[in-house]
């Protein structure tokens, strides 16, 4: 399970969704695995504004990964400046007009898409419920007394 995925998941319990403590889930006894993924600069650029940066930092801290900067990189830090710099567009079609992906973008790709939790548990900081991750697959089904 990729760290990117974890950034979009919280406790499945309705009571927890309304609390800050339930997000992000905290990995426990996590066994990490690095899985190489082909770089898609376009995807990294599009996904970055949707990532909860603070939660990602917390997660990296929990996992003992290198510390991330305090704030998310700006869009301008993801690509080297292009000499034929046009108008910055928000559409995805313009990506060809961007420069080369920077090391910052490659690092983000590595953290978000190549760093995965192979085995372990995900613990809700609100209710303490533990979700199992086995062979990279997390199980979010709740026992009947928590539904």
Partner 1 sequence: MPQYLVRLAQTHESFRKAELEALAELAGIDIKFDFYDEDSPFCILALPSPSSAATLIHRSILSLSIHELWARGTDYPSLHASNHLSSSTFWPPHTTSSFRFTLDSYRGSRPSATQRTLIDSFAYMPLTGRIKMSNPELSLTIFEDFATGATAPRALYLGRLLALSGRAAKTTYDLKKRAYISTTSMDAELALVTANMALAAPGKLFYDPFSGTGGFMVAGAHFGASVWGSDIDGRSIRGKGGKAKRDVVSNMVQYGLMSRYLDGFVADLTNSPIRGARGPGEDAARGGWLDGIMCDPPYGVREGLKVLGLKRDPGENGERLACVDRYMEEGYIPPKRPYSFEAMLEDILQFAAVMLVVGGRLSMWMPTANEEGEDGEGQKEIGIPMHPALGLVSVCVQPFNKWSRRLLTYRRLSSDEISPEALSAMASRKKRVHGNGENADDLNDFRRKYFQGFKEPEAEHTADRQ
Query: Of these, 33, 82, 100, 132, which contacts partner 1 (CB under 8 A)?
Result: 132
Measured between its terminal Cα atoms, the distance across the chain in Å is 24
Looking at the Cβ atoms of 15 and 34, the one nearer to Zn ion is 15
Looking at the Cβ atoms of 22 and 111, the one nearer to Zn ion is 22
* Angle CA 141–117–139, to nearest 5: 5
* Angle CA 65–70–75, to nearest 5: 100
Task: Choose the contact partner of 127 out of partner 1, Zn ion, none; CB within 5 to 8 A by kind.
Answer: Zn ion
Q: Is 57 in the site for partner 1 (CB under 8 A)?
A: no
Q: Is 29 helix (H, G, I), strand (E, B) or coil?
A: strand
Q: Is 127 in the site for Zn ion (CB under 5 A)?
A: yes
Q: Is 6 in the site for Zn ion (CB under 5 A)?
A: no
């Amino acid at each position: 399970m990729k760290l990117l995925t974890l950034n979009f998941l919280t406790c499945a319990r309705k009571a927890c969704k309304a609390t800050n403590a339930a997000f992000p889930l905290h990995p426990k006894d996590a066994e990490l695995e690095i899985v190489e993924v082909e770089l898609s600069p376009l995807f990294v650029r599009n996904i970055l504004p949707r990532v909860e940066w603070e939660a990602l930092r917390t997660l990296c801290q929990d996992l003992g990964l290198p510390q991330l900067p305090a704030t998310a990189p700006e869009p301008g830090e993801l690509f080297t400046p292009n000499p034929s710099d046009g108008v910055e567009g928000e559409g995805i079609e313009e990506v060809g007009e961007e420069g080369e992906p920077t090391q910052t973008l490659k690092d983000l790709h590595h953290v978000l898409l190549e760093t995965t939790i192979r085995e372990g548990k995900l613990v809700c900081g609100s209710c303490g419920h533990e979700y199992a991750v086995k062979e990279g697959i997390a199980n979010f089904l709740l026992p009947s007394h928590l539904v």
